[in-house]
Structure 1
Amino acid sequence: MSAGVNFWDISIWSFIITLTILLTAMMVANFLRRVIKPLRKSLIPSSVLGGFLVLLADFVFREITGNSMFNSAILEALTYHGLGLGFAAVALKTTDRKAVNGNKKDILNYGLTTVVVYVLQGFLGLAALLLLGTMITDTFPAAGLLLPMGYGQGPGQAFNWGHTYETLWGFTNGTSFGLTIAATGFISASLGGILYLERLKKKGLVKTAYENEILSNENDEENKPARGEIPLSESMDKLTVQIALVLIAYALAYIFMWGINKIILTGVLGDFGTNTLQPLIWGFNFLISTVFAVLVKTFLRFLKKKRIMKREYTSNFMQNRISGFAFDIMVVASIAAIKLAAFKVHSFIIPIIVLSVVGGVGTYFMCHLISKKLFAGYEHESFLVLFGTLTGTASTGIILLREIDPQFKTPAATNLVYQQLYAILFGFPVLLLLGFAPQSSTNLLITIIILAVLLVGYSLLLFRSVIFKRKQKKV
């Protein structure tokens, strides 16, 4: 009898079972949100609530059997790849040039706002843990930089860098720390969003729509195929084509990262290669996948321009669905991957509480100030979408925005979509500090000084119109 795959082996089924549990938990969470009014009013996304349900179920299962329901490696892989695949799908979408050209200034300001809040979160997080380190000996101060990763970037990046700090720099429970920060970010988004909405409601400024669920229908604009798109089903299904394009872009990103890694392993780049560049390359798989997705999209556009390809192969509607699925899986898997045993350690739980409070309060007031000063006419919409995004994810921001702008009549949602390029360009220097800071105490101090300088510099750039107006009035 030849050795081969046995279909009854658990290893053949573990991935499917894990995925089924995660998706079922999200469906249960979605049902609970619909039937339990306080849950619906909490504005917590179904993927987040589903993650907590899985975490609770796994805790009960572990107490009874002594084993986990999951292979943690599968959860971590889903978190890591969900981020990269989701960004690749977003980047493959065709952009509305009219929307971008008509609102360039505010889109730039949204991008700068994102970076200013990243820098603020990094500065506050690092300062808080450096101070806490003088009182609690086991504190890992560089973990303060996981605040902008968990709040500003979301679970995927919080996992990537928490895992890097754990494996490369010996930060005990670093992976769970990063994921917990991301989870508390969703709670901050919910609490801050509800607080802001209730304040507006009491002042009579807006009418919230807690009961309003925006459901797509066949007449929605985004459901209509663009002119010249390939048909839904030919010899190759339309969805298959979309998934193939995403995977091609992601595979190209992997080949690029693998190539850079090969160069690093030769030792030609020394400690910089192994300590800084290697974790940076693999930690920012989402950024590299975005670049290659744009290149794939550009190549397809070139083929169409040369009339080699006559149809439009990318579908915005389907890429939205793919990215939504990838991000939902990323969120629910990231919360399920948290190790609850880490909460018994004081050097774990106290920094979590400190960072969550500092991050939530700091982000709230900064977003409020920026929205009030720069986005006249839709400051409340801007606050909700920015605060939700910069404590949770973009989907959290959209959930908050829908409470007062369900039809997206203000530019807030459009600005959020198109600000990503500016956020990446201006935010890249901040990302370099993540691999630099944990290397020594001196590096930590240098990092906090650089963050302070960047915070001042980016803030001046962001508030340039306000500053110059004041100077002109004085003249």
Structure 2
Amino acid sequence: MQDTFHGVIAFALLAFMLLLGSLLRSRVPWLRASLVPASIVGGVLGFVLLSLGLLPGYSPGDFTTLTFHFFTLSFMSLCLIGTRRHGGLQGGSIVRGGMWLTLAWSVSLGMQGVIGYVLVSVYDAVTGSNVSAWLGAIVTHGFTQGPGQALTFGNIWEDTYGVANAAQVGLIYASLGFLMAFVVGVPLARRYLNKGLNANQASRLDVSFRQGFFPAPEQGEDANSSAPSMGRMVSHPANLDSLAYHLGLLAVAYVITHLWLTFMQGVIGDAAPMGINLGVLFSHNLFFLHGLGVCVVMRKVIDQLGLGHRIDDETFKRITGTSVDFMVVGTLMSIQFSVLYALLTPVLLVAVAVTLATLLSCLFIGRMSGRLGPERALTSFGCCCGSTGTGLLLLRMMDADFSTSVPKELAFFNLAIIVVNFHLLMIFAPIVPSLSGGAYLAVFGGTAIVMLACLPLMRYWERRGAMTFKAVNADKAADRPNGYGVVANSSPNKGVVS
């Protein structure tokens, strides 16, 4: 049985680092003041321990697979949450909001690749080094797409085109992206919170937020009164624990997704119409994307059958949040120090330049996106600096209970980015090293320019949506009884929006 414990202990180490990170965050004054999440603190600590050989028997590769699956679980569980509105904070159309996030991400995907390629080329010319420019270009798959895609495309570039260390450099970029997201994103979130710009006013910089833990209840006070509830029990504990019940639903979605992909791989085979390898679309590397679709359908079916009361949304939110925490600490512990040290200067140069450009573009697009602009700017910046999970973790600072529409916009966004960027993700990304430098810049840079050109159209759509939103809300307000119990608006034309 001893041989079976290696993977279990790897998971236990992730949990242990999260625990240590949370304790350090609450005890060390400068960490507490910085508001850095425990997953970042624990991940950095785990990376240091692995690099120093203080976790014997374990290497960064032991945590890569766990990271991939926690990323997948975080969004599958999010899509099993219902669509019930919370206090009017939904913010309008989820599709429209999701398209703003998609636009920001698509600009970033093309822009980051161009910046990385150009900077490494310039670095080689100035220093006389021989670093492959493709090790700069892969930054966009590490930052904008995250560790899973960085590993996927990095392995293809290594095995097929001989780009040495592409997978590991991609993973390093993904890890640096997480760090950059929080080094820049946390102060940005704090600024928004201090100014009260977040729509969900339940998220605020109180003592619990800064400490990282809720205070102990006062004497005679109920133990649960000082902290929000984790959710409600759905199944009777004498029958099945409610958390186990919800994990079971998630497990059903996981199995269905696996069977679907296995079936489609048999149907597709080696088909490659117009040179496009359709097998990539149905590979397990894109498990999370197909899992999103399965979970959306599952939730629709459950609601249509009138069984929505058998699901507690708060429980799934906690599963999502837990998965994000494990994903972040696992990604940081997956870095190989030797590769990072050998390419430290060009990698840091690219990472800093990409972070600055991404921040400016996300702030600009977020400002144009309407009433949830701060949430979308922060979320899109997180998504473009590591993975969608990073954006979700930053969003959690401004929307602690996920009561705005932005989490749902993220679910839509994960599907929309595949459609909008199909040509990059499914056609060009796997064969990038076979392109000339000019062709690469034209394809990726051209995509970023086209996306930026769509901003006026998106702005017009947003204004139209805002006008409709205000008109409908004004009409609802007019229908409410006034202080004397009389309906304020009795016009027969009420509710009509032109």
TM range (shorter): 0.7 to 0.9
Deviates more, 1:212-221 or 1:336-345: 212-221
Cα offset for 1:283? 2.7
Q: Say whether the 8 Å CA contact 1:388–1:400 is kept in structure 2.
A: yes
SS in 1 for 2:74: helix
Residue 388 (structure 1) aligned with residue 355 (structure 2): no
Amino acid of the structure 2 residue aligned with 1:390? C
Structure with the higher helix share, 1 or 2: 1
Cα offset for 1:73? 4.7
In 2, distance between residues paired with 1:469 and 1:190?
A: 29
Q: Say whether the 8 Å CA contact 1:51–1:331 is kept in structure 2.
A: yes
Cα offset for 1:395? 5.8
Q: Which residue of 2 aligns with 1:102?
A: 92
Q: Match for 1:294 among 296, 301, 315?
A: 296
- TM-score relative to the length of structure 2: 0.74
Residue 31 (structure 1) aligned with residue 55 (structure 2): no
Q: Residues 210 and 352 from structure 1, CA distance in 2 versus in 1: closer, same or farther, beyond 3 angstroms?
A: farther
Cα offset for 1:84? 2.1
> What is the root-mean-square deviation of aligned Cα atoms in Å?
4.0
Cα offset for 1:420? 4.0
In 1, distance between residues paired with 2:179 and 2:348?
A: 12
In 2, distance between residues paired with 1:191 and 1:299?
A: 41
Q: Which residue of 1 aligns with 2:11?
A: 19
Q: Match for 1:125 among 104, 107, 116?
A: 116
Q: Say whether the 8 Å CA contact 2:18–2:43 is kept in structure 1.
A: yes
Number of positions where the alignment pairs a residue of Structure 1 with one of Structure 2: 444
Q: Match for 1:157 among 145, 149, 164?
A: 149
Q: Match for 2:70 among 75, 78, 82?
A: 82
Q: Which residue of 1 aligns with 2:357?
A: 362
In 2, distance between residues paired with 1:252 and 1:468?
A: 37
Q: Say whether the 8 Å CA contact 1:176–1:338 is kept in structure 2.
A: yes
Q: Say whether the 8 Å CA contact 2:134–2:163 is kept in structure 1.
A: no
Amino acid of the structure 2 residue aligned with 1:332? V
Q: Say whether the 8 Å CA contact 1:80–1:160 is kept in structure 2.
A: no
Q: Say whether the 8 Å CA contact 1:120–1:455 is kept in structure 2.
A: yes
In 1, distance between residues paired with 2:59 and 2:424?
A: 33
Cα offset for 1:27? 0.5
In 1, distance between residues paired with 2:427 and 2:273?
A: 18
Q: Say whether the 8 Å CA contact 2:73–2:320 is kept in structure 1.
A: yes
Amino acid of the structure 2 residue aligned with 1:453? G
Amino acid of the structure 2 residue aligned with 1:285? F
Q: Match for 2:325 among 309, 313, 328?
A: 328
Amino acid of the structure 1 residue aligned with 2:349? V
Amino acid of the structure 1 residue aligned with 2:62? I
Q: Say whether the 8 Å CA contact 1:433–1:447 is kept in structure 2.
A: no
Q: Which residue of 1 aligns with 2:474?
A: none
Amino acid of the structure 1 residue aligned with 2:299? K
In 1, distance between residues paired with 2:413 and 2:60?
A: 34
Q: Say whether the 8 Å CA contact 1:371–1:379 is kept in structure 2.
A: yes
Q: Which residue of 2 aligns with 1:4?
A: none
Q: Residues 288 and 137 from structure 1, CA distance in 2 versus in 1: closer, same or farther, beyond 3 angstroms?
A: farther
Matches within 5 A, 1:43-192: 43-61=35-53, 68-70=56-58, 72-96=60-84, 102-104=92-94, 105-132=96-123, 138-192=130-184
In 2, distance between residues paired with 1:172 and 1:192?
A: 31
- TM-score relative to the length of structure 1: 0.77
In 2, distance between residues paired with 1:390 and 1:173?
A: 22
In structure 1, stretches of 5+ residues that fail to align are 1-6, 471-475
In 2, distance between residues paired with 1:239 and 1:172?
A: 44
Q: In the TM superposition, what whole-angstrom CA distance separates every residue of 1:61-95 from its partner, at most 9, and x where no partner exists?
A: 26xxxx85315553222122222222222222222
Cα offset for 1:48? 2.1
Cα offset for 1:287? 1.0
